[in-house]
Structure 1
Amino acid sequence: MSSLAKNLKNLTPNLRQAIVTWDKAERIRRNEEIFQNSESVVHRLPNHYKKRYWEMILSDKTPVHYRPPTSQKAYDSFRNTEVELENNPIIGIKTPESDQGLWGGERVVKGWIESAPYTKKKILPRNWVPKLFFPALKNVVLYSEILNKYMKVTVTERAMRLIDEHFGLDYYILESQEIDLDSKFANSLKREMLLILSSGTYYEEDDEKKAYIKEKYAKFVIPEEEAEWIGLELNEAARKQQDNEESIAPVPLKYRLEQSLVERLRDGTDDVSQELENSDGPVRTESKFGDKMFGRYLNPIGEKLRSATN
């Protein structure tokens, strides 16, 4: 019976519970503080951008530097008991260089190495020292079928494998989520591709090639007003929204009041025009300034002037 328990490793496969990793919890907490401010510009962003942005925040990033557990519990042969497995993602360090290329989600990982691993412990004690693990980078030339141009890009081996799995650079960029691309360059490529597909400004001189591209990437076509917001970070989107608002010249108040008066006169809903139509003679209007300030002095003088004119 004990040998059976020792050989049993995964007791409950494919029964993983829905969990929130610390990385996702931190993203939710940080964005919740931003959106709690009712006067922030983020509330004036387009609804399609806010929906897509929160879908990205609530989604799980594809594991790159670790392998998540495939079962909920497992058997520990050393302690001879059943233990619950935890999902602790390894999140690397984001570098500015990764935004200039295609790293396929890889980052700089901080870890530990053992000092003098081949030295006997009696001679020199072994210590753990920190170490940064950098991905292997190389420069390659990639071709975009939609943009119809070659690009010299810094990539990793994982990025090249993902491009091969998606059968081309365009499919890899368009089918991957922004959180998995993890690069400003990749997100800008995606935004440029979607803008060209939505506007149809590609292969203007070759009708056969244009029809081929249109049919091949038809499922990625979205409205142009949505495509220009794809791949923008929250700060970039807020800055873009502020620039759009400042580009609209404000209308002076007198012009708005004039337009409102013209519309009321045209519809016949203005109070002054209704009084003129319903009255037999001219309507006499009196200023209430004198009644409030100097009523007891000006009212007798006004009555004398009116009686003299009559």
Structure 2
Amino acid sequence: MSGFKTRITILNRLPDCYQKFFREWKYGPQAPVHYIPEEGKWKRNPETGEVKIIQNKPIPLTYPKEFDDGLWGGEALVRGFQKRKQLQRRVPHFWFPSLIKSVLHSEILDKRMEITVTHRTLRLVDQHYGLDSYILETPPQDLKSNLGIKLKRSLLLALAKQDFLPNNPAKREELLQKYQKHIIPLEEAEWYGLTLAEALEKLGKVEQPKVQGPAINQPLKIKFREEFIQQLKAEQEENQPPPPPSSKPSWASSLNPFKFNKSV
């Protein structure tokens, strides 16, 4: 719970547009993929007549590190139990999505990309009539992966700057009209799709003082320590006893035969 409070405190320093994106990305409700939600609040068993409450509880999903390198269309690893024989206990089991590599084209970025996808991802791309429409119209909590979020960030930046397809202005105007409802201000597009670490780094650059020199927000303990050290040095110099007066050697000392002569 303390980690959640710390994260919320850090988020409060960031712009409102990023706070909205981050909360949707990490905590927003996802579209049901691995279960079929039921309507209403209650249901009756037709055989026994028993009335039960409807609980549309999402199935917990596991996201491996390979998940961030592809577009899985809301699918992930499902962890559960499976009873393989009638007279044996159930055993742990993982259900893996079927992954394939496919080449998808972005008309805004004018690129063809080889991406690891699922069959559901391809169906969603077909339903949206293209990769760009699928990425722009899908909320961040359903894209979920870093690749999907970065692609959406690139598309939003291109639409906000309106500098894509420099050699084909007619096609650019056509795409701007097509995706007009997805155009957001450039200030918001620059914050969209950043991880929390990247957003804090960007915030530090924005808040960094323009003048060169020591940091303005220096901790007071460092300042007080330096002042205390200077004070101790000054007191030590004041309390230091004066050096003894130097006496000139007499002429008789030069006649001492037992004195070592350095010139020899």
Return the TM-score normalized by structure 2: 0.74
Partner Cα separation in structure 2 for residue 84 and residue 209 of structure 1? 54
Q: Cα offset for 1:51?
A: 3.2
Closer/same/farther in 2, CA of residues 239 and 196 from structure 1, 3 Å limit: same
Question: Does 2:235 correspond to 1:235?
Answer: no
Q: Which has the higher helix share?
A: 1
Q: Cα offset for 1:31?
A: 4.3
The residue number in structure 2 matching 1:103 is 72
Partner Cα separation in structure 1 for residue 140 and residue 182 of structure 2? 15
Partner Cα separation in structure 2 for residue 90 and residue 163 of structure 1? 24
SS of residue in 2 equivalent to 1:115: coil
**RMSD across aligned C-alpha pairs, in angstroms?**
2.3
Partner Cα separation in structure 2 for residue 134 and residue 173 of structure 1? 23
One-letter code aligned to 1:249: K
Q: Cα offset for 1:240?
A: 2.7
Partner Cα separation in structure 1 for residue 159 and residue 153 of structure 2? 10
The residue number in structure 2 matching 1:209 is 171
The residue number in structure 2 matching 1:195 is 157
Partner Cα separation in structure 2 for residue 31 and residue 144 of structure 1? 37
Deviations 1:246-293 (A, max 9, x none): 4x434669xxxxxxxxxxxxxxxxxxxxxxxxxxxxxxxxxxxxxxxx
SS of residue in 2 equivalent to 1:150: strand
Partner Cα separation in structure 1 for residue 177 and residue 63 of structure 2? 37
The residue number in structure 2 matching 1:34 is 7
Closer/same/farther in 2, CA of residues 30 and 198 from structure 1, 3 Å limit: same
When structure 1 is superposed on structure 2, of 145-154 and 227-236 the one drifting more is: 227-236
One-letter code aligned to 1:100: D
One-letter code aligned to 1:242: G
Question: Does 2:16 correspond to 1:47?
Answer: yes
The residue number in structure 2 matching 1:149 is 111
SS of residue in 2 equivalent to 1:44: coil
Judge conservation of contact 2:104–2:115 (CA < 8 Å) in 1.
yes
Question: Does 2:80 correspond to 1:80?
Answer: no
The residue number in structure 2 matching 1:249 is 210
List, as ranges, runs of 4+ consecutive aligned residues in structure 1 with deviation greater than 3 Å.
29-33, 51-59, 243-246, 248-253
When structure 1 is superposed on structure 2, of 193-202 and 150-159 the one drifting more is: 193-202
Q: 1:136 aligns with which of 69, 85, 98?
A: 98
The residue number in structure 2 matching 1:13 is none
Closer/same/farther in 2, CA of residues 47 and 91 from structure 1, 3 Å limit: same
1:260-275 mapped onto 2 (5 Å cutoff): none
Structure 1 alignment gaps of length 5 or more: 1-25, 118-124, 254-310
The residue number in structure 1 matching 2:145 is 183
1:58-69 mapped onto 2 (5 Å cutoff): 59-69=28-38
Deviations 1:31-73 (A, max 9, x none): 45532x4xx4x32211221233345566421111111221211
Judge conservation of contact 2:27–2:141 (CA < 8 Å) in 1.
no
Q: Cα offset for 1:242?
A: 2.4
The residue number in structure 1 matching 2:60 is 91
One-letter code aligned to 1:136: S
Q: Cα offset for 1:189?
A: 0.4
Judge conservation of contact 2:25–2:144 (CA < 8 Å) in 1.
no
Larger RCO: Structure 1 or Structure 2 (Cα < 8 Å, ≥ 6 residues apart)?
2
Closer/same/farther in 2, CA of residues 97 and 226 from structure 1, 3 Å limit: same
Deviations 1:83-138 (A, max 9, x none): 11112210210111111010001110102111335xxxxxxx32200111110000
One-letter code aligned to 1:167: Y
SS of residue in 1 equivalent to 2:44: strand
1:285-296 mapped onto 2 (5 Å cutoff): none
Partner Cα separation in structure 2 for residue 236 and residue 79 of structure 1? 56
One-letter code aligned to 2:121: A
Judge conservation of contact 2:24–2:141 (CA < 8 Å) in 1.
no
Partner Cα separation in structure 2 for residue 133 and residue 55 of structure 1? 26
Query: Percent of aligned pairs with the same residue?
Result: 37
How many residue pairs match? The answer is 214
Q: 1:223 aligns with which of 179, 185, 189?
A: 185
Closer/same/farther in 2, CA of residues 126 and 178 from structure 1, 3 Å limit: same
Partner Cα separation in structure 2 for residue 206 and residue 69 of structure 1? 49
The residue number in structure 1 matching 2:262 is none
Q: Cα offset for 1:214?
A: 1.6
